[in-house]
Amino acid sequence: MMKHVIGAVCIKCGAEHEANDHTYTCTKCGGILDIQYDYTYIKSQLNREKLISRNDDSMWRYRELLPIEEGSRLTPLRVGWSPLYRAEKLGEWLGLRNLYIKDDGLNPTGSLKDRASAIAVVRAHHAGMRTVACSSTGNAASSLAGNAAAMGLESFIFVPERAPKGKVAQLMIFGAHVISVKGTYEDTFRLSAEAIEKWGWYNRNAAINPYLSEGKKTVSLEIAEQLDFKAPDYVAVSVGDGCTIAGVWKGFKDLYALGFIDTLPRLISVQAEGCCPINRAIETNRPLERMEENTLADSIAVGVPRNGEKALRAIRESQGITVVVSDDEILAAMRLLGATSGVFGEPAGVTGTAGVKKAAEQGLIPEDAVVVSLVTGNGLKDVVSAQRIAGEPRYVSPDMGIADTAF
């Protein structure tokens, strides 16, 4: 029972569906769905003052805006309510007077994906399902495994054989059943879909499950609240599959529909130049086309974005800006962000920041604009990339006289 949810609308043909866990894609055209809310009802239940007074320091402070059934048990991990830092020193470097960093790498398993997985395990649990599943090598997998463990659910994670052993180890620490597929990522995805169908597991493949971007939207609800319910002028997001930027936009649109904010931000969609199908589609105003996946920012290396249409719509509606950055620019941003702000992000996590830097240098962002750069994943997830840009320490001999050494 969800009094505040009207249904799920196909973003391609507009067909209306009931919001449930049987229908994830449009039964008429196969398009992906978008959850629709009854804002009038929500307004009768929630206002800004009520939100501000809440002690809940997790994404569940926004439960009235989330597609969870009444009486659901919430995942106990503290997902969300990540810090929003005013980045003064970085702002000085970039000529931006009101720059903020939202550090979503401080989520329980180290990435923004925890917000989506939290919704998945809550819905699965409420539906009486015992097992959740997805195919992924990265943050979606670890967030699902961690949140499932905390919720007392089993998880099955399908990974391609080439998945880094360290990431697989993290999954197994969370007690996940990991299925390593001797094939490509496409093979892995297909096998996971078959198994989910056959065994009736809860499906956390962001490719089709429309509830996941609803979880991700909480990052925007937080940004707005942390800025005292003023929307920023720009929000920069690293973009791969498209689910995150679509969720970011949905959050601000929700708050705008409720009258909690008076303006909407412009999105800055940042992709790696080695894999930027969404930005290319915007820039050329043509349909999405598959691209190679040539970037070290593995979490956003998605050649065939499955939430591409939602992402395109979000960028266009927001009169967004597209920026592509090289791997070198991504690594440089990792270092700049760390040294000026004390925030350590993984490559895909700081791609948005690299985009802000480039857009600022190109004069695309007014210097007084309020800009939020979303860091989506923790740098500890990929220390190998950090090593590539970190440089070498200074080596000294133990019998060196410190008095004679210049530092």
Instruction: Output 75 or 271, the one with its CB closest to its own copies.
Output: 75
Q: Which residues 240-299 are close enough to bind its own copies by CB under 8 A? A: none
Site for its own copies in 315-354 (CB under 8 A): 334-335, 338-344
Instruction: Tell me the sheet residues that pair with 86.
Output: 100
Q: Does 205 bind its own copies (CB under 8 A)?
A: no
Of residues 10 through 69, those in contact with its own copies by CB under 8 A are: 57
200: contact with its own copies by CB under 8 A: no
Task: Please tell me whether residue 73 binds its own copies under the rule CB under 8 A.
Answer: no
Please name every residue paired with 32 in a beta bridge, in sequence order, or none if there are none: 25
| Residue 53, CA atoms < 13 Å, CB-side half-sphere | 5
Residue 407 binds its own copies (CB under 8 A) = yes
State yes or no: residue 109 binds its own copies (CB under 8 A).
Answer: yes
Cβ at position 357, least distance to its own copies in Å = 16
The Cβ of residue 182 has, within 10 Å, a number of other Cβ atoms equal to 9
Q: Is 215 in the site for its own copies (CB under 8 A)?
A: no
176 Cα distance to chain centroid: 22
With contacts defined by CB under 8 A, name the span among 10-18, 20-28, 108-116, 361-369 that binds its own copies: 108-116
375-394 residues near its own copies, rule: CB under 8 A: 378-381, 383-384, 386-387, 389-391, 393-394
Structure tokens at 177: 């059943």
Number of residues in the chain: 407
Q: Among candidates 144, 166, 146, 157, which has minimal Cα distance to 192? A: 157
Kindly list the distances between the CA atom of residue 266 and the CA atoms of 220, 235, 369, 388, in Å, as whole numbers in the listed order.
13, 6, 11, 33
Q: Contact at 8 Å (CB) between 4 and 43?
A: no
Least distance in angstroms from the C-beta of 304 to its own copies: 18
Give the nearest distance from C-beta 254 to its own copies in angstroms. Answer: 23
- Of 40-48, 167-175, 257-265, 304-312: span binding its own copies (CB under 8 A): 167-175
Measuring CA to CA, which residue among 34, 74, 54 is closest to residue 254? 34
